[in-house]
Amino acid sequence: MSAMTVHSSASRPANHRFYLSDGNIKFKLDDGTLYKVHRYFFENHSSEFAADHLNGATQDIVNLPEVSSVDFNRFLALIYPTEIGERDIHTLDEWTSVLRLATKWSMSRLLALALREIEPIAGVFDKILISREFDLGETWLQLSASTGNYNMALGAGSSQGPGSGLAGATALDRMPVEQSTSRLEERLDDIKELVRELRLTSDLRDMHNVRQTSEAHDRLENLGEGIMLKLNDSNAQYSNLSSRLNRLIVKADEGSAVLLQIDANTADLRDRLLDADAKIEHSIMAANERRDEIINELAIHKDELVSSMRQFCQDLDTDAGRRHEDLRDSIEQLLLELQRSFSVG
């Protein structure tokens, strides 16, 4: 029996269609998917489920171990269809998911419904696998075969049609209905023989697995070749990009060296300009100081200079007057001499 626990770890975001706002019970799967649905359906249609998971349950979240989200989504799609009066479940895989959970939780009505829906759409090989997985036995296979859903074209020998036994089983898978029920009933003994043979051996499944493995191996080889081609192309592109990147790095280093030199020259020029500014400022300060000194000296000696200039002017006037008198005397003396000379003559 599965024990119920309150799950405190983080769950996947509940943003799917089966997280109902008015649901009154939460289920959590092994992959962390969280569901919120109505307790009624599970409690009233499966006493085994109720005993295992809901008996006296007051927990917020009930764990459902060993249940896949794909199966549970398909199971809930029967309970909560997207449209009233319509079914969301149609394919063999979808009905097999319903059958799996109906069997697990002993929901007899859903189990019977799933088998009815599976019977007309499943091939012989599918039915054999389903019979073995859910332990349905030979009786279900015989009843399924006698309902007239398949044309069991079994020949009496190897020269008649697909043949019988394991080789015939592969030809029976998903064959259309082409003969009447009376024809199938005539061949019922052949069908029973086929069923017993398939039930007693696992060769068919092994052959199917081998075929699938071989096909998967071929697909993987093809995929691997494609991946290798892409890897080689990617390596070539990477080498090209790497070369271009190396060239860009070299150019970037050269540019960095030039920028460093420019920075150094700029710093030197800035220092020289600062030094020149300092010298010019010092010279201006010295010139201003000398100007102030000259102005002060001029202010101090102004009166003395004015007096000296006045004295110079007076001296110049006196000297000019004296020279004027001397010149006049010289002229008068010259005139007297000239008169005497003319008199004598």
For residue range 224-260, list pLDDT tens digits in order. Answer: 777 778 777 777 887 888 888 888 898 888 888 888 8
Q: What is the mean pLDDT of residues 215-223?
A: 71
Q: What is the mean pLDDT of residues 211-228?
A: 71
Among 60-74, 176-190, 246-260, 292-306, which range has the highest average pLDDT?
A: 60-74
Q: Given this model, what pLDDT does residue 233 score?
A: 76
170 vs 166: CA distance, rounded Å: 7
The answer to the question of residue 277 being in a domain is no
Residue 298 identity: L
* Burial per residue of 84-121, b for 16 or more beta-carbon CB atoms within 10 angstroms, e otherwise: eeeeebeebebbbbbbbbbbbbebeebbebbbebbbee
Its pTM stands at 0.43
Number of H helices and number of E strands within the chain? 11, 3
Provide the domain count of the chain: 1
Q: Given this model, what pLDDT does residue 174 score?
A: 40
263 vs 267: CA distance, rounded Å: 6
* Band (59; pLDDT cuts 50, 70, 90): low
Q: Given this model, what pLDDT does residue 96 score?
A: 96
Q: Given this model, what pLDDT does residue 70 score?
A: 94
Strand-strand pairing, 61-64 and 25-29: parallel
Q: Which residues contact 332 (CB under 8 A, 6 or more apart)?
A: none
Q: Given this model, what pLDDT does residue 206 score?
A: 58
**Which of 220-224, 240-244, 334-338 bottoms out in mean pLDDT, i.e. has the lowest?**
220-224
pLDDT in tens, 139-176: 787 776 665 444 343 333 333 333 333 333 433 444 43
The answer to the question of residue 243 being in a domain is no
The answer to the question of residue 79 being in a domain is yes
Instruction: Kindly report the average pLDDT of the chain as a whole number.
Output: 76
Which stretch of DSSP H or E encloses residue 297?
helix 203-344
| Phi, psi (deg, nearest 5) at residue 114 | -60, -40
32 vs 168: CA distance, rounded Å: 45
Q: 11 is in which domain, residue-wise?
A: 1-118
What strands lie across the sheet with 25-29, from one edge to the other? 34-37, 25-29, 61-64
**Which carries the bigger pLDDT value, residue 96 or residue 135?**
96
Q: Given this model, what pLDDT does residue 11 score?
A: 56
Q: What is the mean pLDDT of residues 84-108?
A: 93
| Phi, psi (deg, nearest 5) at residue 170 | -65, -30
* Band (344; pLDDT cuts 50, 70, 90): confident
Q: 205 near 129, Cβ under 8 Å? A: yes
Among 16-25, 98-107, 218-227, 293-302, which range has the highest average pLDDT?
A: 98-107
Check whether 290 has a pLDDT greater than 50: yes
Q: What is the mean pLDDT of residues 312-339?
A: 83
Q: What is the mean pLDDT of residues 61-76?
A: 93
Q: What is the mean pLDDT of residues 322-328?
A: 84
Check whether 128 has a pLDDT greater than 50: yes
Check whether 60 has a pLDDT greater than 60: yes
Q: What is the mean pLDDT of residues 68-85?
A: 93
Check whether 24 has a pLDDT greater than 70: yes
The answer to the question of residue 153 being in a domain is no
Q: Given this model, what pLDDT does residue 212 score?
A: 64
Residue that is written with structure tokens 């009505």 in the block: 109
Q: Which residues contact 154 (CB under 8 A, 6 or more apart)?
A: 160, 161, 162, 163, 164, 168, 172, 187, 190, 191, 194
The answer to the question of residue 49 being in a domain is yes
Q: Given this model, what pLDDT does residue 177 score?
A: 40
Q: What is the mean pLDDT of residues 98-117?
A: 93
Residue that is written with structure tokens 């003969």 in the block: 179
The answer to the question of residue 31 being in a domain is yes
Q: What is the mean pLDDT of residues 32-59?
A: 84
Q: Given this model, what pLDDT does residue 58 score?
A: 62
Q: Given this model, what pLDDT does residue 165 score?
A: 37
Give the CB-side neighbour count of residue 241, counting CA atoms within 13 A: 6
192 vs 139: CA distance, rounded Å: 10
Query: Which CATH number does the domain housing residue 53 bear?
Result: 3.30.710.10
Q: Given this model, what pLDDT does residue 293 score?
A: 85
Q: Taking Cα atoms as reference points, which of 86, 95, 164 lies closest to residue 127?
A: 95
The answer to the question of residue 97 being in a domain is yes
Report residue 241 as tokens.
Answer: 């990009």
The answer to the question of residue 286 being in a domain is no
